[in-house]
Amino acid sequence: MSKTPLKIAIAGLGTVGGGTVELLHDQAETLAARAGRPLTLVGAAALIKPDTAALAGVPFFTDARAMAKECDYDVLVELIGGASGIALEVVRTALERGRSVVTANKAMIAHHGIELARLAEKTGANIGFEASVGGGIPIIKSLREGLSGNHVTKVMGILNGTCNYILTTMRDQGRDFADVLAEAQKLGYAEADPTFDIDGIDTAHKLAILASLAFAMPINLDGVACEGIRHVSALDIGYADELGYRIKLLGVAAVTEAGIEARVYPAMVPLSFPLAHVSGPFNAIVTEGDFVGRTVLEGRGAGARPTASAVVADLMDLACGRVMPAFGVAVDTLEVRPAAPAGAHRSAYYIRLMVKDEPGVFADIAAALRDEKVSMEQIIQRGRAPNQTVPVVMTVHETDEASMLRAVDRLNALASIAEQPRLIRIENL
C-alpha cells in the first residue's frame, strides 16, 4: 500500500457533506485497503463547524472560496448546491488549479457541466458527478463505462424521490395531491418551496445529464420538455389502478427518427413493467442498448448515506487512478444532435373529462376525437347524475401528440365539458 494519501477538501457540510465525512471516517481502513492508499481529509468548509469526531484535526474554513484557493488538496468535493454562486466558483477555482472535483450538484452539471469538463481537460484535472443523479444508484458509471460497448437508444426512469413518495402515498391512502404534499413538507420529504421537485425541474436536470452520457451529446437542458405532477388527482390514480397502471413521474430520453426526445411527465406505467412497482422515495433507471438489451437499476435516490456512497465512489476512482473524460469522450467530440419536434411524440393517452350528464355528450366527444383522427380504445362511465357533472374516462390508441392536443382543445370547447380535460400519457413498454 502506498503511503501517499489522496488529499480531499470538502465544501459543504450539510446532509450529504455530513454523510460523506462520516463515511470517509468510519470506513477509512476499508477504503484504504481497496484503493491501495489512504483517503485523507485535509480541509473542510461550512458556515458552522459540525461537532463530529470525523473532523477532528481537519483544518476548517468558514469560506469555501478561501479553502479552494489556499488548501493543499488533490480533489475538492463540492456539496454546497445551486447551479451557480459559490458552488460554481469553488469548482472553477479547483479545476483552474489543476485539482480534480467531485460533486453531487445536478443543477450545476446540467447548466455548466460541459464548460467544467472542458476546463478539466485543459488543466489535466478530472470531474466526477456520480452522486448528481440517482443518489446511491451507480448510473453515471454504468452509462459512461459499463455500457460503453453499446449504442444506447433510450434511458428513462423515476428520478425524483419526492414526487414518487407523493404519488405512492396518494395511491396507498386515497388522498389528494395538496394534502399529501403538505404532509411531505412537514416530514421533511419535500422542501418548503417544492417547485423544483413537483414541477419536474429536478428531474429535467438529471435527465439532461443522462441523455448527454447515453447519446454522447452536449447537455441540452433547454431541449427537455417538462411537466410536473400538480394536476394528478386521487381520482386519476384510482382509474389508473383499475386500468392496470401506476402513475409515475418519468424522465424519458430516446433516439427517434425525428431526433432526440427528452421529456419529463407523469405517465401511466403498466403493472408488468418494473418501474410500476418502485415506491416511496426510491429511484429506478432503465437503459436500452443494442447489445445488452434492457437494464434496470433501483435504489435510494437521495439522503445522506446513499448519496455519500456515490460521492466516495468517485473519490475511489481518483485514488486508484481510474479516470476518463467526464462525459465518456472528450468534450469536443460530443455530437450536437437535433431535438425532435414537440408535437412528434407518439403515445397512447388517458383522458378524464368532467361532463354534464345530458343527451348527446358522447356524440360530441366522439366527433372531437374523430376530427383529429384520434381513435378511442376504451371508455369508462358509471352511474348517472342528471344536472350534475360526472367523470368520463377514456384511453385512446397511440397517436402523435400534436393531434392529441388539438383534440383536447376541441373537447375543452364543448359546452358539456365542465373543466379542463386531464391528459396523462400511457407508456406501453
Helix residue ranges, H only, 150-297: 161-173, 177-187, 195-198, 201-215, 234-243
Is residue 206 annotated as a catalytic residue, yes or no?
yes
For helices 161-173 and 177-187, what crossing angle results, to 10°? Answer: 120
Distance CA 245, CA 45 (A): 47
Name the β-bridge partners of 44.
10, 60
Q: Pairing state of beta strands 346-356 and 389-400?
A: antiparallel
How many Cα atoms sit within 13 Å of 122 on the Cβ side?
A: 12
Name the β-bridge partners of 295.
287
- Would you give the DSSP letter of residue 331? G
| Residue owning grid cell 448528481 | 132
Task: Say if residue 45 is exposed, middle or buried (CB neighbours under 10 Å; 0-12, 13-18, 19+).
Answer: buried
- The residues, ordered by sequence, that sit 6+ positions from 91 with a Cβ below 8 Å of its Cβ are 76, 78, 101, 103, 108, 116, 127
User: Which grid cell is 273?
Assistant: 413493467
Distance of CA 328 to the CA centre of its chain: 20
Closest CA to 147 of 260, 282, 294: 294
Distance CA 394, CA 300 (A): 35
Distance CA 104, CA 314 (A): 10
The catalytic residue among 141, 206, 248, 373 is 206
How many Cα atoms sit within 13 Å of 170 on the Cβ side?
A: 29
What 3-state class would DSSP assign to 122? helix
Closest CA to 302 of 11, 15, 4, 14: 15
Closest CA to 368 of 406, 397, 396: 406
For helices 161-173 and 234-243, what crossing angle results, to 10°? Answer: 80
What 3-state class would DSSP assign to 201? helix
User: Which grid cell is 8?
Assistant: 480531499
| Active-site amino acid positions | 206
